[in-house]
């Protein structure tokens, strides 16, 4: 990994502002950074000299003069975001202003090849600043304190398989996949403008992204929102089992219940959640009954979330949770058991995790460039 050049504090501040803006004139950079115009002019010269900023045309100013417009330079580099989903691996490479540079999609089994494909598509002269890998697991420190890794066998093996494809020397950050998706909903999805909400993902597994004051909460052990660990079943004479709630609400059990209830007169039983919801949308009674029951179960889980967090807004996502057909039933059950809480469907869909991971990677990438700022002052 190419090391970022040492910058003055003012140059670091201007670089961060330019990365966030994408393109800006010197007066705009001065306003956004809260610095004087001479200070910004000196910072831009410094950034241009090391390839971190570049001229990008001109813009007409309010005085009738043309002002130079700047963007990030080739030395700013790129970042990589990897979503190790339960079935699909998605990878995005982005510039430090968020511009998409490369993307690749493939199976979980071929995750390492998907990562290599995206890496090969990145500009050869763009130094890779950081990598964020989203996993369906809690993360824990490696033995000896050398970075992080998935805490359980849920994601450990696939992460190990992917790690061999990652370039050496580039910082790798692990993040929970649901937390990444919550970031995407916050900035680009159904929760835009809402600084506090819960992102409830229902799919093969279950999970909760908790956003309070515009920040994702991870908890003391990095396990905040691990709804699979809620005690279930919880009733007289019944012993809660490890992650039994996830087993009950997850997509595999949903399809199993559909198979058990499916009348022979209704033809072949749906083999996927997509088929089940499609049949329910057509008005097929058996499918509708299974989907309605699933909505009640999700509504009860949402009520548990609301009882603890009072988030005001719950965004439903995941391979089954995002179907709008669930909304009415979830809203009704939540209203029956708890206080008024808005419930909406995800608008970022399957791309939520990689979109959120890319946003996090960009933020960390900018940090790697600016963290040495002040060394030259």
Average per-residue pLDDT for the chain? 92
> φ and ψ at 309, to 5 degrees?
-105, -25
pLDDT exceeds 80 at position 106:
yes
Q: Which of the four pLDDT bands, split at 50, 70 and 90, describes residue 342?
A: very high
Most confident of 141-155, 163-177, 328-342: 328-342
Q: Which of the four pLDDT bands, split at 50, 70 and 90, describes residue 56?
A: confident
3-state secondary structure the chain: CCCCCCCCHHHHHHHHHHHHHCEEEHHHHHHHHCCCHHHHHHHHHHHHHCCCEEEEEEEECCCCCEEEEEEECHHHCEEEEEEECCCEEEEEEEECCCCEEEEEEEECCCHHHHHHHHHHHCCCCCCEEEEEEEECCCEEECHHHCCEEECCCCCHHHHHHHHCCCCCCCCEEEEEHHHHHHHHHHHHCCCCCCCCEEEEEECCCEEEEEEECCEECCCCCCCCCCHHHCCCCCECCECCCCCHHHHHHCHHHHHHHHHHHCCHHHCCCCCCHHHHHHHHHCCCHHHHHHHHHHHHHHHHHHHHHHHHHCCCEEEEECCCCCCHHHHHHHHHHHHHHCCCCEEEECCCHHHHHHHHHHHHHHHHHHHHHHCCCCCCC
Q: Quick one: average pLDDT of 197-220?
A: 96
Instruction: Report the distance separating Cα 129 and Cα 152, nearest Å.
Output: 28
Q: Which of the four pLDDT bands, split at 50, 70 and 90, describes residue 32?
A: very high
Q: Which of the four pLDDT bands, split at 50, 70 and 90, describes residue 157?
A: confident
Q: Quick one: average pLDDT of 136-158?
A: 71
Burial class (CB in 10 A: 0-12, 13-18, 19+), 116: middle
pLDDT exceeds 70 at position 15:
yes
pLDDT exceeds 80 at position 246:
yes
Q: Which of 322, 374, 328 is nearest to 351 (CA)?
A: 322
Q: Quick one: average pLDDT of 250-269?
A: 93
Burial class (CB in 10 A: 0-12, 13-18, 19+), 349: middle
Instruction: Report the distance separating Cα 15 and Cα 97, nearest Å.
Output: 10
Q: Which of 276, 301, 271, 270 is nearest to 288 (CA)?
A: 276
Tokens of 120: 């090969």
At residue 282, the pLDDT reads 93
Q: Which of 77, 12, 67, 6 is nearest to 40 (CA)?
A: 12
pLDDT > 70: percent of the chain: 94
Instruction: Report the distance separating Cα 20 and Cα 58, nearest Å.
Output: 19
How would you label 22-32 residue by residue, b for 16+ Cβ within 10 Å and e otherwise?
eebbbebbbeb
At residue 208, the pLDDT reads 97
Tokens of 276: 């089940």
**Structure-token match 């003055």, residue found:** 8
Q: Quick one: average pLDDT of 167-194?
A: 95
pLDDT exceeds 70 at position 102:
yes
At residue 204, the pLDDT reads 92
Q: Which of 257, 297, 260 is nearest to 273 (CA)?
A: 257
At residue 267, the pLDDT reads 86
Q: Which of 20, 31, 16 is nearest to 61 (CA)?
A: 31
Q: What is the pLDDT of residues 354-363, one digit of tens each?
A: 999 999 999 9
Q: Which of the four pLDDT bands, split at 50, 70 and 90, describes residue 374?
A: low
Note if the pTM is more than 0.85: yes
Q: What is the pLDDT of residues 57-79, one digit of tens each?
A: 888 766 667 889 999 999 999 99
At residue 112, the pLDDT reads 95
């Amino acid at each position: 990994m190419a090391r970022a050049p040492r910058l003055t504090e003012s140059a670091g501040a201007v670089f961060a502002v330019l990365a966030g803006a994408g393109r800006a004139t010197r007066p705009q950079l001065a306003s956004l950074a809260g610095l004087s115009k001479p200070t910004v002019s000196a910072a831009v010269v410094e950034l241009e000299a090391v390839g971190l900023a570049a001229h990008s045309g001109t813009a007409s100013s309010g005085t009738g003069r043309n002002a130079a417009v700047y963007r990030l330079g080739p030395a700013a580099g790129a970042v990589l975001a990897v979503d190790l989903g339960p079935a699909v691996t998605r990878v995005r490479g982005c510039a430090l202003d968020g511009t998409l540079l490369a993307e690749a999609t493939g199976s979980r089994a071929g995750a390492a090849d998907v990562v290599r494909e995206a890496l090969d598509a990145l500009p050869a002269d763009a130094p890779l600043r950081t990598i964020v890998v989203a996993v369906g697991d809690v993360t824990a420190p490696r033995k000896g304190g050398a970075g992080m890794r998935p805490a359980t066998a849920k994601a450990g093996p696939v992460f190990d398989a992917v790690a061999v494809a990652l370039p050496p020397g580039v910082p790798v950050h692990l993040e929970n996949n649901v937390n990444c998706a919550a970031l995407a909903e916050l900035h680009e999805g159904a929760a835009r403008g809402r600084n506090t909400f819960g992102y409830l993902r229902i799919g093969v597994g279950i999970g909760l992204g908790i956003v309070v004051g515009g920040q994702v909460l991870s908890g003391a052990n990095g396990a905040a929102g691990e709804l699979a660990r809620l005690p279930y079943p919880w009733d007289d004479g019944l012993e809660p089992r490890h992650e039994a709630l996830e087993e009950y609400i997850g997509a595999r059990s949903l399809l199993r219940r559909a198979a058990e209830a499916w009348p022979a007169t209704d033809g072949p039983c749906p083999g996927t959640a997509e088929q089940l919801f499609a049949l329910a949308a057509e008005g097929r009674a058996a499918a509708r009954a299974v989907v309605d029951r699933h909505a009640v179960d999700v509504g009860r889980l949402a009520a548990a979330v609301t009882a603890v967090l009072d988030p005001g807004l719950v965004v439903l996502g995941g391979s089954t949770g995002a179907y709008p057909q669930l909304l009415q039933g979830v809203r009704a059950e939540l209203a029956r058991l708890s206080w008024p809480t808005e419930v909406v469907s995800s608008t970022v869909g399957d791309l939520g995790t990689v979109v959120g991971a890319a946003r996090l990677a960009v933020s960390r990438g900018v940090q790697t460039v600016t963290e040495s700022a002040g060394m030259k002052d």
